Structure 1
Amino acid sequence: MFEIDNQRAILDRRALMAELNALAERVSDPSNPGPELVEILKRHLQAGRDQIQRRFLGNSRGAQAGLTSAHEASFLVDQLLRGLFDFTTQRAFPLGNPTVAERLTLIAVGGYGRGELAPYSDIDLLFLLPYKMAPYCEQVVEFMLYRLWDLGLKVGQAARSVEECMRQADSDLTIRTNLLEARYIWGDQGLYDEFQKRFAKQIVKGHAEPFYQGKLAERNARHHKHGGSRYTLEPNIKEGKGGLRDLQTLLWLARFCCGASSMQDLVKSGMLTAAERATFDKALNFYWTLRYHLHYLTGRGEERLTFDLQPEIARRLGYTDHAGTKGVERLMKHYFLIAKSVGGLTRYVCAAIEAQFIKKPMLRLPALGILKKELGGFPIEGGRLTIPRADHFSQHPGDLLRIFAVSQRHDVEIHPTAMTAMSHSLRLVDRIRDDPAANALFLDMLTSEKGPEQTLRRLSEVGVLGRFIPDFGRVVAQMQYDMYHSYTVDEHTLFAIGILTRIESGELKDEAPIASQVVKEVISRRVLYLAVLLHDIAKGRAGDHSLLGGDVAEKLCPRLGLTAEETEQVAWLVRYHLLMSNTAFRRDIDDPKTIADFVDLVQSPERLRLLLVLTVSDIRAVGPKTWNGWKAQLLRELYTRAFNQMMGGLNTTEEDRAASVISLLKQELPDWSDDDIASHAARGHSAYWLAFPPAALGRHARMIRAAEMEERPLSVEFNVDRWRAMTEVTIYTPDRQGLFSQLAGAMALCGANIVDARIVTLRNGKAIDTFFVQDGEGGPFDRPARLARLSSTITRVLEAPDQTLAQLQDLPPLANPAALNFPVIPRVLIDNKASATHTVVEVNGRDRRGLLYYLTAALTKLNLQISSAKVSTFGHRAIDVFYVKDHFGLKIESDQRLKALRSTLMTVLAEAETGDAAPSRAVMVDSWPPVAPSSAAQ
């Protein structure tokens, strides 16, 4: 048992029993002592908890602070239960000469059985009986449980005979695991000994393999439930992959399969090294310290290390900002490295157990139907590749890569023994890093059609990938501290490789049809796969990671065997890997100048194809909810227009293209006469006809005709597009100053998130404004009740704008308060070169409810016309882009007006902050030149 310092300061059982005995003497019936019994117990319990908390907070940076507190909390409950048990059996229900059936033992099981409790942990108890429940035992159990519940303890309890325990443990893996950790607390010691002997003989002996396989399957299911990655940015430290439960699983396997009472027993038996045991202890202590901070900070059994808690825990643990890295990022990198080490420990322990206790079938190759003893010179053990002797890699360092190539080629797993040997031989990777054969082998694995993601993941897990490509080693466990990314840099990169493979195989043809088509036309797969592998390789360094990553590519690609031409392509793709998403999501691709500038940078159809597939892989790998049909549509439109211009398909005038669109409109309106079409066409400018597809123009035409015939002052229509995951809201009404801003305010009041907008004033003085909106989850805003509310809100806003829009002040400014933990430096970027007809204003700031309304209201007050708006949200950061003109229809070029524009928008952005990003820190930039795009949002 863990040694507790100054135990009586936590709970002095003598003093407790003195009070309980005095109570028994005072009351007439000790079996009905009234509330005073609970008050005595509660006072001692709270005093012990306060003592433990003082000790923990006074030593929370200590190496064993959390684990020590966990043992102290278990000791506290032990002593309390012993006191209550004695009062119950000696005072409330005294029994002078109990029969055999009246024997009773109190046992701790589960985590409490291990002697570890968090502040808000459940207390799992087993009331052990010799046979079925006797009336006396039932009285004792009921009396104790009611008092424990009155204390507010969360008790998981069972009352079973020894025989019932054996029967249920035999049929249920969870019960078997809980009883494996059974620990005697109080009562009949002989009954506990009998239970332990029968458990060892009937449940444990001869059943190592099914328990081993069952716990690994249980672990895999748990990992899948919690995201399947140990590198999620808000990890569950208890249940997540690489977390506390994985360490506990290793203990269960060691106890059940090896008869070890602790990890130290595995060291004594030679199954683990002292260094590996030290790694286990370090991880266990670290997790318990984090867990105690989480419980104390939240006042509940919180197990997720969420964004809002990470900064405070980092501060408490002494992680400070330095060398360009935030303290919270250093905490999380430490966490991810610990989680990675738990994966290594799992391999070590499993290898040791399998070597001694698990049957070892040979490998059957399905294609040949024959059994094999070796593959590629590597022996087969337990159906997996291994090495012939412990020092194999020191004699053949090239096999550190070759074993993965054989595993990939034949779809065979690598034995934990070999993985363990690799992790101990990482320094040998330095000897093969510049070997042309090794580099060619790595490139073959990267570009293989047989699952490069899984192979790279194994290479990374064991540490070979980070050693072979040191720049990749720098981003292992590198956190991206924002609410947009869901994974660390290395995990995001590996996911992106997997998505690229799925695009190639056609798995994503419904989600990304154009990428799935053009990837077949890519000339160099080596260029594409290396660009995906390296696109974020320079994250976490001072400077633009895109530009720095291009420099890394220029040095690494020749080493890997790429030609000068291929190297130039990879470096360009890495430098410009954000260009396509920035253009599609933040620029008006209906503006010919946008397409022209984009084509000038991309230059060739091959590069355009590569960039599209890279962009789709990158976005889909950010997180489970970042990709949708709307983004797919924008990228498809940009790709199509750029490709057409490269191939000479856009050499017609704007008027000619508008005329072509109007001719297509006739197909959408088959019941309209030529005169009707001509009359309607006279309403719009060329820019209007080019801003929408024919189907949308057809809906507009019918809407306008109905409104004019019925003389309606306002028409609102909705078109739900589920493939693009958005709803198109079209408003037709007389134009007036501030109309766009008022409509944006109406959307904000109803919780509709605007992702794009087109503002058109027709020649008849009417506005046909179109908003593309989503709900808070990134799906279409489509529930009938919400659409009806939006329609009525638009009407109310246009009738009484000041009164209705004032309600925005009553809404919480942030949908997720955790966003305040992420500093945002507001920026206003003004570009007079991106469009031939408009001034492009890009606004970067903290996202909040109604931000678009406040920004457009400010632009209206400056007497600016807004022609279109592109709205993007990246977690806690909003990037809104406006195409504006002055009231004469010209660009804003006066220095005085540009200064006023910046100042006004900066004031709006400053109101979204709470002191963490003051306006004085803003970056004001005059233009956005066509160079490697900013990575601020990515």
Structure 2
Amino acid sequence: MRLQALSDRRAIIERRILAARIDELAKGEGSSARPAIVAALKEALEEGRAELTRRLEEQPSAGHSIAAGHAYLIDQLVRVIYDHATLHLYPASNRSSAERIAIMAVGGYGRAEMAPFSDVDIAFLTPQRHAPWCEQVIEAMLYLLWDLGLKVGHSSRTLDDAMRMAKEDLTVRTALLEGRYVWGDQALYDEGARRYRIEVVMGTERQFLREKLEERNARHKRMGDSRYVVEPNIKDGKGGLRDLQTLYWIGKYIHRVDAAADLVTVGLFTESEYRRFRNAERFLLAVRAHLHTITGRAEDRLTFDYQRQIAERMRFADRPGKSAVERFMQFYFLQAKHVGSLTGIFLSHIDEEFAQKSQRGGFFAGFRTRPRSVAGFTVHGGRIAAPSDDWFRKDPVRLIELFRLAEAEELEIHPRTMRQAQRDSGLIDHALREDPRANALFLDLLTGRNNSETVLRWMNEAGVFGRFVPDFGRVNAQMQFDMYHHYTVDEHTIRAIGLLARIEKGELVSDHPRATRLIGGLASRRALYVAVLLHDIAKGRGGDHSELGADVARELCPRFGLTEGETELVAWLVLHHLLMSSTAQKRDLADPKTIEDFVAAVQSMERLKNLAILTAVDIRAVGPGTWNSWKGQLIGSLYDQAQERLRLGHIRHGRKERVAAKQAEVKERIGERADLVDRYARSMGDAYWIAEPADIAARNIVHYAAAREAGDKLSIFEQYYEARGATLVTVIASDHPGLFYRIAGGIHLAGGNIIDARIHTTREGWAIDNFLVQDPQGRPFREPQQIERLERSIADALANRIDLAPRLAQRPLPHGRSKAFDVDPRVVFDNSASNRFTVIEVNARDRSALLNRLARALFEEGLVVNSAHVTAYGERAADTFYVTDVTGAKLTGEARMKRLEAALLEAASDALQARLEDA
């Protein structure tokens, strides 16, 4: 057992010396000895933990020995406390047969898998109920354990009660299954173990397996149902410790094994698979020990806050293109992947065992379904299998063919064949990668019309994917240390391929109507699938992953069998796969220069269609909630304008024609009030009509007319804007310096996040400012009290009834854990992105009221903001401003640019945040 293999146990705790000290204190001080005894026990606990912490620092990956060491420490304390309770507190020289106690460790304590602050789960077994001496001893022990600050999960049951509850309750049955004798009456414990095997286990193996798998599936669903989430729960998450424990529980229950090593003896694992089991378990136990040590509590979620610290403690180092924390997390996900493949292998063996036991005999035995052959593979019961152990060695191309057939025939792969594929993946060499037949099979799989996502994931789990496409193997289990990306790079890519397939099938028409419409008319669907596969293939190499990825595409596409034209399209898509999302979210789509520059880069309708679909699946595959109607609307608007320019050139794009067309559309929208357009069109100016979408312009002009007729000095209008998944906030007020930053401050104080802002001034000096606002969770403001709070806060800010700076500093960060990341503020000036404005992009850590601070800095530098565009990428914000000086000219002059850059960096800095919080 693990405890027996533990080295230098006396350095952790010397039970005999501690027991002698307790004995001396109890005899010498009598009833007043308790404080001194507690102090002695606590000292032993603290010294033991300190020794184990020292060992963890010396051997940061020694998960098994550290876990066993903590269990051993608790064992010895429990033994000393039991002996003290029975010898000094409640001595009984002539106990009856009912006055017996067996102390059993259960849960992680029972497995000797304890982290520094794990719960201490103890079961007290007694022969019968209501034995006063037993109750007194148990109570005394519990009070002493609690005095030590231990979190004790305990039960006290008779053997009869324990057996009855184990039959009824899966949790109790599992606890007793991994129970371990600690101290007390050994014979009573042995009797309980014997009765458990006979009365509880025998004949219920199938039921236990079914219930444990249902429990596991429910837990996975609760935890996100992916082993590649970037903040995993190392205990309960998919691919975590609980999955390994489940295998052990099932094996022990069905095969009566006493240790995980016995799973090899009964044929559930090979020696190499068991080594992978142990390695994954050792690593996960070590990570959990570090996590408890850092936090000083029982913590199992590996959040961003702790990942960097644990990477350092476990001696991961930076490498070119990949930080230490990213290397640590990549290793973590590889272990989680191993846990997943081991689970499949293990359960397949159990499944086969039960199938063999339940095969029908007698007359009907001859009527079993016969297997069929598909390309030499055996297909039976919906599973495809290799017919022999040397099947892949005879022709390694079959390693690719296996997965292609599984997708094409909609079959599961037999776990034993998955094991073979994993074992034989090393047969994939350069010659096989260049084999035209193998590449044709892979391309057919990638573009399959059934369920390519699932089969590619199987291929990845088996290690075949990464061997066949080594560039993909380099991003296997690779995470990005940020709050934007929810999955590892390989998982993100496979999910994106799955989304593309679903769009092609028409399953996502409500979310992606444009992509669904476009995908059927592409010149080459396979080029798009390959582009999705390769768009992030070069992440983690150091340098621009888009440029490096385009080079990879030029090498791989001919190998896959793509034509020269398809190869060029894929390389272009990989190189520019961020262009559309960046332009749509960071640039002013009403500025003609934005569209001109985008179209100049795209150059053809075929590229535009492919890029629009790639952009949609790329954003959506980042994680839940990253794709929303607002992003869909922006990308759609960019697509429509670019499409029109590409098809018609500059026809219909003259400024006068665009203004007239927009005004005509607004007249149509407002119907009987169409005369308002003629009344206020000139006052609003051509720039307004070009900038605002027709639906917003229609709302604005009715609102503006009402405000003017009523003589309002301030008019605020809020409305849920379904088309963009946000609340439209329009403020009409007399224009004056600082108006924009004050409005922004008021919106922030009401709990709103501004995702887009457009600022206009009429010829009469009235401001018409439009803001799209969401709450911190990306939802619109819709409740009446939310709207009222928003309006009141804006009015107070504009009337100077509140001091914005200190109030805004007190608001919590949008992401409380964003301080775990290094985000260096950066300011970029661009005088070529617009014909009329200087475009300023500020990248910084997302924080409360960042837009307000940046807008105030621009105001204090004497600049006029025409529009602002806000994009959040997890902990990082990218705020873009279209500005001029007070004369309406672009910014020039190096000295002024440097002064403005310094002001913006100061506004975005952590130091300013700290000063404001202190104030």
TM-score using structure 1 length = 0.91
Counterpart of 1:918 in structure 2 is none
| Alpha-carbon distance in structure 1 between the residues aligned to 2:627 and 2:457 | 23
1:717–1:731 contact (8 Å) kept in structure 2: yes
Superposition pairs of residues 840-855 of structure 1, within 5 angstroms: 840-855=839-854
Distance in 2 (CA, whole Å) between partners of 1:595 and 1:370 is 66
The structure-2 alpha-carbon separation of the partners of 1:324 and 1:609, relative to structure 1 and needing over 3 Å to count, comes to closer
Cα separation, partners in 2 of 1:38 and 1:435, compared to 1, 3 Å: farther
Aligned to 1:737, what secondary structure does the other structure show?
A: coil
1:733–1:767 Cα contact (<8 Å) kept? yes
Paired AA for residue 666 in structure 1: K
Q: Contact 1:10–1:49 (CA<8 Å) still a contact in 2?
A: no
Name which of 9, 12, 16 aligns with 1:10.
12
Moved more, 680-689 or 139-148: 139-148
Q: SS at 1:552's partner residue?
A: helix
Equivalent AA in structure 2 for residue 446 of structure 1: L
Q: How does 1:416-815 map to 2 (within 5 A)?
A: 416-430=415-429, 431-648=431-648, 651-652=651-652, 653-672=654-673, 674=675, 676-722=676-722, 724-800=724-800, 804-808=803-807, 810-811=809-810, 814-815=813-814
- Aligned pairs (5 A) from 1:246-261: 246-261=243-258
2:173 pairs, out of 173, 176, 194, with 176
Looking at structure 1, the residues matched to 796 and 494 of structure 2 have their Cα atoms a distance apart, in angstroms, of 50
Greater Cα offset, 449-458 or 389-398: 389-398
- What is the match of residue 364 of structure 2? none
**For the structure 1 residues 264 and 539, does the alpha-carbon distance in structure 2 shift closer, same or farther, using more than 3 Å as the test?**
same
Change (3 A) 1:722 1:126: farther
Deviation at 1:294, TM superposition (A): 0.8
**2:842 alignment partner, SS class:** strand
Q: What is the distance in 2 between the residues matched to 1:237 and 1:497? A: 28
Distance between the aligned counterparts of 2:15 and 2:644, measured in 1? 84
Output the CA distance in 2 between the equivalents of 1:809 and 1:219: 45
- Give how far 1:457 is off: 0.3
Query: Residues 900-919 of structure 1: matches in 2 within 5 Å?
Result: 900-910=899-909
How many Å separate the matches in 2 of 1:447 and 1:856?
48
CA–CA separation in structure 2 for the residues paired with 1:864 and 1:405: 60
Give the Cα–Cα distance (whole angstroms) in 1 for the partners of residues 896 and 727 of structure 2.
36
Query: Distance between the aligned counterparts of 1:629 and 1:323, measured in 2?
Result: 38
The residue aligned with 2:363 is: none
Query: What is the rounded CA distance, in whole Å, between the counterparts of 2:416 and 2:57 in structure 1?
Result: 37
Find the partner of 2:260 among 256, 260, 263: 263
Identity %: 46
Paired residue for 2:372?
374
Instruction: Extract unaligned runs of 5+ from structure 2.
Output: 361-366, 915-919
Would the alpha carbon gap of residues 868 and 800 (structure 1) be closer, same or farther in structure 2, given more than 3 Å must change? same
User: Aligned-pair distance for 1:451?
Assistant: 1.1
* Rounded Cα–Cα distance in structure 2 between residues aligned with 1:82 and 1:174: 26
The correspondence for 2:144, drawn from 139, 144, 147, is 147
1:730 offset after TM fit, Å? Answer: 0.7
Runs of 4 or more consecutive aligned structure 1 residues displaced over 6 Å after TM superposition: 360-363
User: What does residue 395 of structure 2 align with?
Assistant: 396
Cα-to-partner distance string for 1:72-123 (whole Å, 9 max, x where unaligned): 2212222222222233334433344444343332111121111222222112
**1:664–1:694: 8 Å Cα contact kept in structure 2?**
yes
Residue identity opposite 2:740 in structure 1: F
In structure 1, what is the Cα distance between the partners aligned to 2:908 and 2:809? 19
Is the 8 Å Cα contact of residues 38 and 151 (structure 1) preserved in structure 2? Answer: no
Q: Distance in 2 between matches of 1:176 and 1:631?
A: 50
The answer to whether the 8 Å contact 1:742/1:797 transfers is yes
| Amino acid aligned to 2:12 | I
Superposed displacement of residue 225, structure 1: 1.6
| Alignment-derived partner of residue 202 in structure 2 | 205
Matched residue SS, 1:776: coil
Equivalent residues of 1:452, 1:498 under 8 A apart? yes
| Partner secondary structure for residue 689 of structure 1 | helix
Q: CA deviation at 1:160?
A: 2.2
**Counterpart Cα distance in 1 of 2:508 and 2:737:** 45
Distance 2:345 2:789 in 1: 60
CA 1:58 to 1:540, structure 2 compared with 1: closer, same or farther past 3 Å? same
Deviations 1:859-918 (A, max 9, x none): 223322211111111112111111112222222244444444334333434456899xxx
Q: Deviations over 1:802-861 (max 9, x none)?
A: x62232464267443532332223322222222222222222222222222222222223
Cα deviation per residue 1:668-698 (whole Å; 9 max; x = unaligned)?
4334373x44212232112212322333223
Q: Are 2:865 and 1:866 equivalent residues in the alignment?
A: yes
RMSD across aligned positions (CA): 2.6
Asked whether the 8 Å contact 1:749–1:807 carries over to 2, the reply is no
After superposition, the Cα gap between the structure-2 partners of 1:911 and 1:187, relative to the gap in structure 1 and judged at 3 Å, is closer
For structure 1, which segment, 69-78 or 805-814, has the greater mean C-alpha deviation from structure 2 after superposition?
A: 805-814
Code of the residue aligned with 1:407 in structure 2: it is: A
Distance 1:415 1:133, change over 3 A: farther
Q: Quote how far apart the aligned CAs of 1:42 are.
A: 4.9
CA pair 47-868 structure 1, distance change in 2 beyond 3 A: same
- The count of residues paired between Structure 1 and Structure 2 equals 903
Query: Deviation at 1:244?
Result: 1.3
The aligned residue for residue 917 of structure 2 is none
Gaps of 5+ in 1: 364-368, 916-938
Q: CA deviation at 1:165?
A: 2.5
Show CA shifts across 1:159-187 (max 9, x none): 22323323332333322221111111222
Report the CA distance between 1:396 and its aligned residue.
2.8
Identify the match of residue 293 of structure 1 among 270, 290, 293.
290
Alignment partners' CA distance in 2, 1:361 and 1:63: 47
Question: 2:409 is matched with which residue?
Answer: 410
Q: Summarize the Cα distance change of 1:663–1:125 in structure 2 as closer, same or farther, 3 Å threshold.
A: same
Equivalent residue for 1:930? none
Query: Which moves more between the two structures, 692-701 or 538-547?
Result: 692-701
> Do the aligned residues in 1 keep the contact of 2:744 with 2:851 (CA within 8 Å)?
yes
Q: From 301, 322, 327, give the equivalent of 1:325.
A: 322
- 8 Å CA contact 1:362–1:383 kept in 2: the answer is no
Q: Is the 8 A contact 1:310 1:328 kept in 2?
A: yes
For 1:159, what is the secondary structure of its paired residue?
strand
Paired residue type of 1:373: P
Q: Distance in 2 between matches of 1:884 and 1:360?
A: 77
The alpha carbon displacement at 1:362 in A equals 9.7
Alpha-carbon shift at residue 304 of structure 1 (Å): 1.3
Q: Which moved more, 1:535-544 or 1:100-109?
A: 100-109
2:25–2:36 Cα contact (<8 Å) kept: no
Kept after mapping to 1: 8 A contact 2:754/2:774: yes
Alpha-carbon shift at residue 356 of structure 1 (Å): 4.4
Match of 1:928 in 2: none
Matched, 1:121 2:118: yes
Q: Is the 8 A contact 1:503 1:515 kept in 2?
A: yes
Contact 1:864 1:887 in 2 (8 A): yes
Q: Deviation of residue 133 (structure 1)?
A: 4.1
Report if the CA contact (8 A) 1:237-1:304 is conserved. Answer: yes
- Paired letter, 2:760: V
Quick one: distance in 2 between partners of 1:153 and 1:422?
A: 47
Measured after TM superposition, the shift of residue 43 of structure 1 is 3.3
Is 1:345 matched with 2:346?
no
Quick check: 488-497 or 97-106, which moved more?
97-106
Question: What amino acid maps onto 2:412 in structure 1?
Answer: E
Once residues 500 and 517 of structure 1 are traced to their aligned partners in structure 2, the CA distance between those partners, rounded to angstroms, is 13
Greater CA drift, 421-430 or 341-350: 341-350
Matched, 1:65 2:46: no
Q: What is the CA deviation profile of residues 564-608 of structure 1, one whole-angstrom value per residue up to 9, with x for unaligned ones?
A: 111111111111110110110011111112112212221222221
Cα 1:569–1:39 shift into 2, 3 Å: farther
2:248 and 2:525 map into 1 onto residues whose CA distance is: 45
Q: Is the 8 A contact 1:229 1:241 kept in 2?
A: yes
